[in-house]
């Protein structure tokens, strides 16, 4: 630590402490420096112990100056008084005040050395058995080992919170294990990158061509490069090329490492279309299981066709007064008789009418039905449109727990399948390979699965190309609703969505309609106009609530018209700081009471409560809400579905401002009014299907802001990133074919 940044003192008071992750807020008595309020991850912190801390000063709007601790070191007590204070603090499990006094009275300044080196001597004290003595030593050494690991990892910029995860996973020999193979950090601990592990190895003198490094690098490419691009596999040659380029090795070294990974069953190699393709085992297994389950469901349904299905459909049409179009009737017939059915269609093509009709068909025959969608907002929308409860897929499958806090398993799977006879899933384009595998594994034999989605929307964020693969295989009956109904044609949102999808330019600013374009000469003007539209012009003209009724959707995170900049600008105008409104600085943003926010990852452990006493756990990627309370150690959010959740400070990286969101994050949601900045960017991001997806998020109005030339370029750009996935192959030619 640099002397100018370091402070030494005694922990005077612990204001807040989370014993699970070590996060704490405390006052440090730093002598002449006075009391210093510190925040950070310091496991096993106890009142009265001596510390050296270092970090950066931050100014909390309500609580003033605080030291955000990035490095810390405990100062082992040396005098009898300080040793007594330390042992009496409860930091060592099994030692209370009375026991601490006995130990210090007996061994004086040697007390800590005795606990470490000759713990059996503690049994010389009346009331301490040899067994208890060894347990005390074990508990003390666990603290020591964890602290040594924290100090070791701090040298490489790895935070104490990650060090705690490393210790929990690797145990007391963690330091030795990391020294032997630093790449265990990125392979076993989610959130520690290959780059960080590589830096640890380099500083420790690791060789560039070590087996550990090359194998870890190859797995990193498949895990973070390939999977983040949506691929479930990479072709062998492409993988070798990437490894050579990234790791600075030769092709033979990469090939040898790859062969060893195959022999150790850490990677899977399959020949697809006469090319060797390399998978992570979990992704290969997911697509294999999905294909196997679909085939079993399809084969099972061949023996269980509904008698007089067409007559049942006609009868229900008469009862409900609904006259189905030809494709809608075909979808209903298929749903009754096929184990798996895919129903696709764009806006205005009657998907909702079709699904609601199918639900009534199954209800008439007393079938149990489950409705689900990938996100909370999509499930909520499904509930509103169907009048029946829809759940997230995660909730439907009943999330369980594994030994790894970062991973979850589902209660519902092949050995304990869902009880429902029919499972209808909406927004299937968002479902990735692993989630689809989990879902299909949970369908009971003879069950029905109906997959509903828009195949022209963006694919899932996670790896896989599920909906596209299933449709293109031709194995699963697929009905495409392609007729826009007359009532829907009155909406320019629907008309223009289909125009965009066909590569035609949208009709703009038609009088008394719902699709507008506001021109701006550059990105700076676009941002200015957009914020004025959201905060003033649209609310004044249409009586809209800018927080509840308007959603900004941007193609990018960065630039002046990206999500980050727009969130900061809109927050300043719609929810400015003021006396009495608590806020906190976190990373690069301010979180303030009243802010519109979004959960950006699945967290199955977060506890929630609803008014009326309903309780549960689980908040999911894409859930939106408002901050209702900001405290020193927590932020409370009320989500749109009524869940109230308290976030401790260590979890705030799961929350982002949501005045503006990316197109991917908006999927599965519907908003009253959508405002979209339109500007020039990379071919990959500024594509036709991205614009189509953004436009179809609007229920009543779309406002585009920017340059018409950029809009035309997006419509012309039919770029669609090719995803390497094997579900189609598995359905047609795979091992279970």
Annotated binding-site residues for ATP read 348-352
Radius of gyration of the chain (CA): 30
For 526, other C-beta atoms within 10 Å of its C-beta total 24
**Helices 281-301, 433-441: crossing angle, 10 deg rounding:** 40
> Is the CA virtual torsion 206, 211, 214, 215 positive or negative?
negative
Name residues whose C-beta falls within 8 Å of residue 83's C-beta, 6 or more positions apart in sequence.
77, 104, 109, 111, 112
Q: How far, in whole angstroms, is CA 263 from its chain's centroid?
A: 32
Residue tagged 């590569």 (tokens): 503
Instruction: With H, G, I as helix, E, B as strand and everything else as coil, classify residue 696.
Output: coil
* Distance in angstroms (rounded) separating the CA atoms of residues 356 and 402: 37
* Distances from the Cα of 107 to the Cα of 117, 127, 243, angstroms: 13, 16, 58
What tokens appear for 429 in the block? 């384009």
Name residues whose C-beta falls within 8 Å of residue 713's C-beta, 6 or more positions apart in sequence.
680, 686
Instruction: With H, G, I as helix, E, B as strand and everything else as coil, classify residue 357.
Output: helix
* Distance in angstroms (rounded) separating the CA atoms of residues 467 and 465: 6
* Distances from the Cα of 399 to the Cα of 440, 536, 621, angstroms: 15, 43, 15
* Distance in angstroms (rounded) separating the CA atoms of residues 624 and 599: 6
Instruction: With H, G, I as helix, E, B as strand and everything else as coil, classify residue 659.
Output: coil
* Distances from the Cα of 305 to the Cα of 334, 447, 474, angstroms: 10, 12, 20
DSSP states of 482-540:
-PPPTTGGG-HHHHHHHHHHTTPPPP---TTSSEEEEE-SSHHHHHHHHHHIIIIIHHH
DSSP states of 303-332:
T-PPTTHHHHHHHHHHHHT----HHHHHHH
Instruction: With H, G, I as helix, E, B as strand and everything else as coil, classify residue 456.
Output: coil
* Long-range Cβ pairs for the range 390-393 (8 Å, 24+): 390/426, 392/618, 392/620, 393/425, 393/431, 393/435, 393/438, 393/439
Nearest CA to 28 out of 47, 5, 11, 16 is that of: 11
* Distance in angstroms (rounded) separating the CA atoms of residues 439 and 435: 6
Q: Are 662 and 557 in contact (CB under 8 A)?
A: yes
What residues are designated binding site?
Answer: 348-352
* Distance in angstroms (rounded) separating the CA atoms of residues 639 and 644: 6
């Amino acid at each position: 630590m640099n002397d100018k940044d370091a402070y030494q003192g005694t922990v005077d008071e612990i204001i807040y402490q989370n014993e699970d992750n070590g996060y704490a807020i405390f006052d440090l008595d730093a002598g002449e420096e006075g009391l210093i309020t510190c925040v950070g991850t310091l496991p096993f912190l106890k009142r009265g112990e001596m510390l050296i801390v270092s970090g950066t000063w931050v100014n909390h709007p309500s609580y003033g100056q605080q030291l955000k601790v990035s490095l810390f070191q405990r100062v082992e007590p040396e005098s009898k008084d300080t040793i007594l204070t330390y042992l009496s603090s409860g930091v060592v499990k099994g030692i209370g005040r009375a026991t601490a006094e006995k130990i210090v009275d007996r061994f004086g300044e040697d007390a800590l050395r005795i606990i470490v080196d000759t713990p059996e001597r503690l049994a010389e004290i009346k009331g301490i058995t040899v067994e208890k003595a060894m347990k005390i030593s074990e508990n003390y050494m666990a603290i020591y080992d964890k602290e040594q690991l924290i100090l070791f990892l701090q040298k490489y910029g790895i935070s104490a919170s990650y060090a705690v995860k490393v210790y929990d996973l690797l145990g007391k020999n963690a330091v030795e294990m990391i020294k032997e193979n630093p790449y265990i950090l990125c392979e076993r601990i989610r959130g520690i990158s290959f780059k960080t592990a590589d830096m640890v190895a380099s500083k420790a003198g690791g060789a560039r061509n070590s087996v550990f490094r090359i194998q870890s690098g190859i797995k990193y490419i498949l895990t973070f490069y390939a999977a983040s691009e949506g691929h479930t596999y990479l072709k062998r040659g492409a993988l070798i090329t990437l490894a050579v380029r990234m790791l600075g090795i030769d092709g033979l070294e990469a090939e040898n490492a790859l062969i060893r990974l195959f022999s150790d069953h850490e990677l899977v190699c399959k020949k697809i279309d006469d090319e060797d393709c390399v998978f992570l085992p979990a992704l290969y297994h997911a697509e294999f299981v999905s294909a196997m389950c679909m085939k079993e469901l399809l084969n099972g349904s061949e023996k269980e066709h509904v008698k007089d299905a067409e007559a049942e459909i006609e009868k229900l049409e008469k009862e409900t007064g609904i006259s189905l179009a030809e494709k809608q009737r075909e979808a209903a017939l298929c749903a009754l008789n096929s184990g798996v059915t895919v129903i696709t269609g764009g806006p205005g093509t009657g998907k909702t009418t079709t699904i609601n009709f199918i639900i009534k068909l199954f209800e008439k025959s007393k079938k149990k039905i489950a409705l689900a969608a990938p996100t909370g907002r999509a499930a909520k929308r499904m509930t509103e449109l169907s009048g029946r409860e829809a759940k997230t897929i995660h909730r439907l499958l009943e999330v369980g727990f594994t030994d790894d806090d970062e991973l979850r398993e589902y209660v519902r799977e092949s050995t304990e399948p869902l009880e429902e006879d029919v499972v209808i899933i909406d927004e299937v384009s968002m479902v990735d390979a692993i989630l689809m595998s989990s879902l299909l594994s949970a369908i009971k034999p003879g069950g029905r699965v109906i997959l509903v989605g828009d195949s022209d929307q963006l694919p899932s964020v996670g790896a896989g190309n599920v909906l596209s693969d299933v449709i293109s295989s031709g194995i699963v009956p697929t009905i495409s609703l392609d007729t826009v109904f007359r009532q829907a044609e009155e909406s320019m949102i629907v008309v223009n969505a289909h125009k965009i999808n066909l590569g035609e330019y949208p009709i703009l600013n038609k009088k008394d309609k719902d699709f507008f374009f506001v021109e701006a000469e550059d990105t700076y003007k676009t941002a200015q106009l957009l914020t004025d539209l959201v905060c003033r012009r649209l609310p004044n003209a249409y009586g809209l609530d800018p927080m509840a009724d308007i959603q900004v959707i941007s193609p990018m995170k960065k630039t002046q018209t990206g999500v980050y900049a727009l969130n900061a600008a809109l927050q300043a105008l719609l929810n400015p700081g003021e006396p009495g409104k608590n806020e906190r600085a976190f990373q690069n943003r301010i979180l303030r009471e009243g802010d519109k926010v979004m959960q950006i990852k699945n967290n199955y452990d977060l506890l929630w409560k609803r008014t009326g006493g309903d309780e549960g756990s689980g908040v999911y990627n894409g859930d939106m809400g408002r901050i209702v309370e900001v405290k020193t150690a927590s932020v409370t959010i009320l989500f749109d579905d009524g869940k109230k959740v308290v976030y401790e400070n260590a979890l705030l990286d799961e929350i982002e401002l949501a005045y503006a969101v990316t197109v991917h994050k908006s999927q599965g949601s519907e908003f009253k009014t959508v405002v979209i900045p339109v500007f020039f960017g990379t071919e990959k991001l500024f594509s036709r299907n991205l614009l189509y997806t953004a436009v179809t998020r609007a229920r009543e109005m779309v406002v585009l802001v920017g340059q018409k030339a950029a809009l035309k370029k997006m419509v012309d750009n039919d770029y669609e990133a090719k995803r390497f996935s094997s579900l189609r192959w598995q359905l047609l030619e795979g091992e279970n074919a």
